[in-house]
Each structure stands twice: as structure tokens, then as C-alpha cells.
Amino acid sequence: MDEPKNYWVSADELARACRFQGIRRIQQLTQDGVLKTEQPDGKGLRKYDFVPSILALLIHYRERAETKYKSGSPELEEEKLAGLRTKRALDNEKLRRAQGDSVDTIYVERVFGAMLGRMKNNLRGLKYSLADALERVEDREERAEIIAERIDRALLELSDYDFAEFRINGGAEYIKELAAAETKGANGDGDEYSN
């Protein structure tokens, strides 16, 4: 039986066949003794015999993977520790949420968005309610008092948000209430600051 014919390739051709970017990795593996080069016909540039080179790469990477994840290897122990740290952090976060010390950021964003949106709508509505209320008032002191009272009402509403309820229920019911109130204000169903 005839001996199989060698298929000689350059470092660049072998790198492309292995999907390496550039020949640096091929050169490094050659220096490490994983890959062997020869001069076909004893002359010219050194080349790689394709099939034995691919087999050598497969064996090299399989052995490397096996030793990396053998019991007691530093890499495996580090991965186990990283997994335990992540699990501990997740368990601590679950505990903080159960105790009411932590809330999902999405709920915080929704509540503050609704709260500030409602505040903005109410403050914008002040100009109309104040225009009507101040139209009949001649005394400057009395006008200032009406303006201050309306602004204080708007600020008091901002301080009326029940963060304890928000923390206990994860904000779900609270968000529904805020959304309903915001929708009411946006539809013009009522101005809380009118007389």
C-alpha cells in the first residue's frame, strides 16, 4: 500500500484553517514543540504537514482542557470560588429584598418617574389656577400668600409619597395608584390646585 501523500502548508495557511487571527499562535505552538515544521524535499521554506499538524493541535487542546479542570487544579478552584462568591452575593440581595432593605431599580425609576411627572404637571397647572385666583386679589401681600400656599401644597404632595409602602410591596400597588393619578392629571380631569 502506498504511503499517504503529505499536504504541505505555510504557517499562514495553517492559521487560516484553524481560524487563528494571524500566524503568531502557530509560531508560538511551533516554539513550544506542539507543531513540527519540515523542509519538503529538503530545500526551501519550512512548512507544516497539514494532517499531522491538525492532529497535534487537537491533542494539545484536549490535554490542556483536561488538566485545567482536573480536581484540585488552581483554575478549577478559582472558578468554584467565583461561583460561590456570585451565589453568596445573590443570596444576600434576596435577603435584603425580603427584609425590605433593597428594592429593584426598575421600581425606583417608575415611582420617581411618576412622582416627578405628576409634580411637573401640577406645577405647570399652577399658572392657570393662580391666574384665576389672583385676578380678583388687589393686595400684594394676599397674592404672595396665595402663591406660597399653592407652592407649599405642591411640595407637600411630593413629601406625601409613602416610601414604606413602596418598599414593602415592591412598589407594584403604589405604581398603579401613581399611574392612575398621573393619567387623571394628564387628561385634564381635574386640577388639584384650583379653588
Q: Are 171 and 111 in contact (CB under 8 A)?
A: yes
In whole angstroms, give the CA distance from residue 170 to residue 107: 7
Q: What is 48-95 written as a DSSP string?
A: EEHHHHHHHHHHHHHHHHHHHTSTT-HHHHHHHHHHHHHHHHHHHHHH
pTM reported for the whole predicted model? 0.36
Q: Determine the Cα angle at 174 with ends 169 and 175, to 5°.
A: 115
Query: How would you write the pLDDT of the chain (195 residues) with one tens digit per residue?
Result: 566 678 889 999 999 998 988 889 999 999 999 999 988 877 778 899 889 999 999 999 888 877 766 666 777 778 888 888 998 988 887 787 677 666 667 767 777 777 778 778 878 888 888 888 888 888 889 888 888 888 888 777 776 666 555 555 555 565 566 556 655 654 544 444 444
- The grid coordinates listed for 184 are 387623571
